[in-house]
Structure 1
Amino acid sequence: MTMPFCDQQDSSKFQQGKENPAIGSKMDGGYVVTRPRHTRRPRRKFSTGFTDMNQADRDAFDAFFDSVHGGSVIFTYIHPTTKEQILVRFTPDTELNWKYSGVGKNFRWDVDFKLEEA
């Protein structure tokens, strides 16, 4: 399953990062002991969103969010600059909080959300 509207992402909302897999403990002598939390490569994290979506597109994206049960199901995300297909899920703290940006009967919506590589 591929996330809909990947080509309509607002570039001003797009950010990419990597998790830090290191875990550390401070010792009595003032030094820090670190080790990797796991052996897999660091996962990528993405923040992105949509601006000025019409009501039909908003409803379609809401239906997609419901179909992947928030962050429970892995889906394909198309990177906006490289067009790479990446398996991701919504982060556990992601909530779709739609912000109304239309006027009168011109229903337009903005939303931000976070994804993490699966």
Structure 2
Amino acid sequence: MTDAYYPGHDPIDYYGNGGFRFGEMSHQGAILFLPSGVHRWDVETVATLSKDHFDKVLAESHDIEILILGTGKNIVPLPQPLAHHIRQSGIKLDVMDTGAAVRTLNILLSEDRAVAAALFPVS
């Protein structure tokens, strides 16, 4: 399977119905919004997250100040060992529901901040 990838940093215009719209395109499923662009994120639920799911984030950690994790309709805490693994790389982690995560991401993008996001879709 090829990596679905969009090289832009456009704000997210819409989220819902299991996906996201940004840069005049849309994507169904979870996404990683990184300094290198927007990538498909192959993960089903917060409960199934592992360190491996954050490899792309950590590979770009030198360009990321804060990682926003949008956990879907409701806030779901990240297991402490996984949160510690991310923070150990020097990245600040903020967990919130996906709606708040999208709004926060868009604000931080408008301020030209070094932000990344890992977003679960909302149905």
TM-score, normalised by the number of residues in structure 2: 0.24
TM-score, normalised by the number of residues in structure 1: 0.25
Which structure dedicates a bigger proportion of its chain to helix?
2
Which structure dedicates a bigger proportion of its chain to strand?
1
Q: Which is greater in Rg?
A: 1
